[in-house]
Amino acid sequence: MSPKPGSHPHSLGQGLTSPASRARLIAELKREGIVDERVLEVLQKLPRHEFVEEAWRGEAYKNKPLPIGQSQTISQPYIVALMTQLLLEPAPGGAPRKKVLEIGTGSGYQTAVLAELVQNVFSVERIKTLSEQARIRLRGLGYRNIHFGYADGTAGWAAHGPYDGIIVTAAATEVSKAMLEQLERGGRLVIPVGPPAQQSLRVIDRVLANKWQSRDVAGVSFVPLLEGRS
Ligand code: SAH
């Protein structure tokens, strides 16, 4: 006897991880102001349920943050979409962004979104278990354009810089000079900044070799950017 539709909420194609629940999420992101069609397509297609702790799989296509282990969380889809949309917006008259750095690999979900949209993604994570799990997961999903680093990303990843874009997925108390210096001219940094409960999502453009322009676009809530490895 075949199972009733919806009776296995954790299997692909049914119940809470079904195409219908993904479509509802995408409609919600559009209502909230996500306009980049490529970003919406990627979020529709990616199996977010494979990036969260097993007990939370049934919630994977709701617009909320979820646990990924090691007391860390995957951001809500709206924030992932917003940060990606901001990061990939080209500079006026500039070329599309091709080489980006992510600080805070976590589950690798944001990394996968980026890997679908740019040629080369560099991603650093300070917690070894998360870095290794993300590497295995993303290799398993077939990505070959992601370069993983197990390191403290507070000072960026100088060895591979400069980058067209840098995205930080943990909240910094301040923006490090190293991150600003690792931006290409015309490059963009997207970073949550500020103490818990008062964080802003900041967009910083390197407009000239010695000139950066900054604006805050939204209030956000991220786990803290911490120094050292664990
Ligand atoms: N982009 C991730 C979000 C994970 S939460 C995802 O899509 O799942 C933020 C991550 O940043 C955590 O895994 C945390 O360990 C990591 N992190 C915090 N400080 C860091 C630092 N200094 N360098 C690298 N990673 C850091």
Domains of the chain: 19-220 (3.40.50.150)
Ligand 1, pocket residues at CB < 6 Å: 68, 72-75, 103-104, 106-107, 109-110, 124-127, 130, 152-154, 169-170, 223, 225-227
Confidence at residue 147, expressed as pLDDT on a 0 to 100 scale:
98
3-state secondary structure of 125: strand
Phi first, then psi: what are they for 16, rounded to 5°?
Answer: -75, -10
Ligand 1 centroid, distance to 44 Cα (angstroms): 23
List 2, 11, 71, 75, catalytic entry: 75
Does position 8 have pLDDT exceeding 80, yes or no? no
Alpha-carbon distance 125 to 111, whole Å? Answer: 11
Indicate yes or no: pTM above 0.85. yes
pLDDT tens digits for range 96-132: 999 999 999 999 999 999 999 999 999 999 999 999 9
Mean pLDDT on 12-37: 87
CB of 63 within 8 A of CB of 76? yes
Asked whether residue 31 carries a pLDDT value surpassing 60, the answer given is: yes
Please indicate whether residue 75 is annotated as part of the active site.
yes
Q: For 26-37, what is the mean pLDDT? A: 98
**pLDDT tens readout for residues 206-218:** 999 999 999 999 9
**Residue 41 clears pLDDT 70, i.e. is over it:** yes
